[in-house]
Amino acid sequence: MFRLKSKFIFLSIAVLVFTAVTSFAAKPPKVITIGTLYASSGSFATSSTSQYRGLKFWVSQVNKEGGVFVKAFNKKIPVKLVAYDDQGQTGTAGMLYNQLITRDRVNMLVADFGSVLTSVAVPLAKVHKVLLFDPTGTAAKFFTPDNQFVVLCSLPTSGQWPYALADFLIQKKIPRIAIIYSSNDFNQSQAVTLHDRLVKAGINPVYYQAVPTSTSNYSVLLHGIEATKPDAVIEFGFVPNDIAFLEGLQSSGLKFKMVFTIFPGQQLQLIQKNVGPKALYYTYTYPTPPLLKYNDVNFGPTLDSFEQAYKETGKKVDFLVVAGYNTGLIIEKTLDAAKSFDQLEFRKALAGFSGKVKTLDGEFKIDASGAQVGEMLPVAQFVPQGADGLDMHIVYPANLKTGNEIYPAP
């Protein structure tokens, strides 16, 4: 009995030592696997599939060049994308993130679109010590100093989105401001930031109301807003809210000196298709690539050459395609910089090049908790072009400015 036990202990030590030695002198993998999820149905489907296409396009581009350069092994290695469809359901998403981590043992993990579908991945990544590349999950609560396993690649956390917008409103000294927002994490955090900043500057919004995210008819709400005689109306919502708001504004015949909504700057085609270009005349928004062009790109293609190359897919470039592609670029840079092939080394590498990399999506800069602080969202305004075309001017901040705002709207 004793002998058997000691034999067993010896054997297990041997196995342990063997695995330790082999993993230390890790052989380069044949492929780098990147795991991600997308939603083919549900309310996030449009955005999620765009983001997925962008990432997929990056994979096909690097594989054309023989793979991605991995510094830890000092060679190029092909990339393989493992993607599952979570159908927009968080329960399924949790199961599939786990599948990617524990069954497929992917080397890099990329989150699905948006905060809701990213939320379930954050604790999983932390517990399994896998770095989560988060393209668009912008909820502030994901990013805490005690969690080294999440990095926000594309956008600032949603509470920071209206920084430039607040400055613009304050600088223009617009006295009467109405804020209407949909009651969800993403929109409420923006409304709260804007409200607080305005109050601090001595502007008390004349209207500040939450509406259900499912609101689809804004006619009465718009008349309620009009009753407070605002100069500027700021609407924070998701794509369906923005469509309903703009359509309601158009059909009611009400006019305000300034109107702002979030998504025309990200999903212009979809919104324009639903409300027509006239509803967007003189509307303000946060511009994002491809509407916003960064000229000082020092990593990856410029927006123009990306748009040129992307034509081969037969699809149009929208912001989420750029966000998905940009996540690929950040992964590429990470592998190019990390000294060893290890999740925490990846994180160190990211911190190392933070603030030094500029892609077609803007500056990549993260803080200690992994939240994006480099990219910021300017303020832009749509203006009529020709009979029923649209042009867009960036009106704030000054260093990005491409035109003067037309205020009040005619």
Partner 1 sequence: MRRRYLQALSVIILVAVVFLLLPRFYSNQSFLFNLMLYLGLAEGVNIIYGFTGYLPFGYVGFFGAGAYGSAIAITFWHISPFVCVILGGMAAVATGIVLIPLLRLSGAYFAIANLAASQALYLIVANPTMEKITQGPYGIDLSSVYNADAGYYTMLAVLVFAMVVVAYIRNSDFGLSLLAIKEDRVTASLAGVNVVRARSIAWMLSAFVAGLCGGAFGWFTAVFYPSTVFSLDVSVFTIVFALFGGVGTLAGPLLGALLLYSMYNFIGISTPQYFQLFYGFLIIGLVLFLPDGVASILQKGKVYVP
Partner 2 sequence: MNLFVYTIIAGIMYGIFFGLVGMGLNIIFGVLKMINLAHGDFIMLGSFLAYWLYGFLGINPLVAVPIVAAVFFLLGLPLYYAFVPRLIKSKDPEMLSFILFFGLSQVMEALVVFFFGNNQRSIPSTAFGSAGFTIFGQRFPIAWLITCLVALGAFGFVYWYLQHTRMGRATRAVMANRDEALVSGIDVERISALVFCMGLVLASIAGIFSFFVIGASYPSMGAELTTVSFAIIVLGSLGDPLGTILGGLIYGVAVMFMQSYFSSWAEILPYVLLIAVMLFRPEGLVGKAARSA
Binding site for partner 1 (CB under 8 A): 40-41, 84-85, 87, 89-92, 94-99, 102-103, 115-116, 119-120, 122-124, 126-127, 139, 141-142, 144, 147, 183-185, 188-189, 210, 212-213
| Rounded CA separation 108/35 (Å) | 6
Cα separation of 44 and 50, whole Å? Answer: 10
In the complex, the smallest distance separating the C-beta of residue 4 from partner 2, rounded to whole angstroms, is: 59
* SS3 of residue 362 by DSSP: strand
Toward partner 1, which CB reaches closer, 33 or 90?
A: 90
The least CB distance from residue 209 to partner 2, in Å, is 5
**d(C-alpha 261, C-alpha 237), whole Å:** 7
85 lies in the site for partner 2, by CB under 8 A: no
Q: Give the chain's largest Cα–Cα span.
A: 93
DSSP state string for 369-402: TS-B-S----EEEEEEETTTEEEEEEEESGGG--
Among partner 1, partner 2, none, what does residue 19 contact (CB within 5–8 Å per kind)? none
Q: According to the binding rule CB under 8 A, does residue 211 interact with partner 2?
A: yes
Compute the least distance from the CB of residue 254 to partner 2, in Å. Answer: 9
Q: Residue 239 binds what, of partner 1, partner 2, none (CB under 5 to 8 Å, by partner type)?
A: partner 2
In this structure, the number of other CB atoms found within 10 A of the CB of residue 210 comes to 16
Is residue 401 within 8 Å of residue 290, measured between CB atoms?
A: no
Select the binding partner of residue 171 from partner 2, partner 1, none (C-beta < 5 to 8 A, by kind).
Answer: none
316 binds partner 2 (CB under 8 A): no
Residue 15 or 201 having the CB closest to partner 1? 15
Nearest to 259 by CA among 177, 194, 338, 340: 177
Total site size for partner 2, rule CB under 8 A: 36
200 interacts with partner 2 by CB under 8 A: no
Cα gap 157→140, rounded to integer Å? 6
Q: 325 Cβ partners below 8 Å, 6+ apart?
A: 54, 55, 57, 58, 306, 360
**What is the smallest separation between the CB atom of 212 and partner 2, expressed in angstroms?**
4
Q: Which is nearer to partner 2, 72 or 270 (CB)?
A: 270
89 φ/ψ angles, rounded to the nearest 5 degrees: -105, 130
Closer CB to partner 1, 164 or 239, in the complex: 239
- Smallest gap from Cβ 180 to partner 1, in A, equals 12
Distance CA 96, CA 99 (A): 5
Tell which one of 6, 12, 171, 217 touches partner 2 (CB under 8 A).
Answer: 217
Per the CB < 8 A criterion, the answer to whether 111 and 118 are in contact is: yes
Among 41, 171, 204, 305, binds partner 2 (CB under 8 A): 41
Binding site for partner 2 (CB under 8 A): 40-43, 45-46, 180, 183, 209-212, 214-217, 219-221, 223-224, 227, 239-240, 243-244, 247, 250-253, 270, 273-276
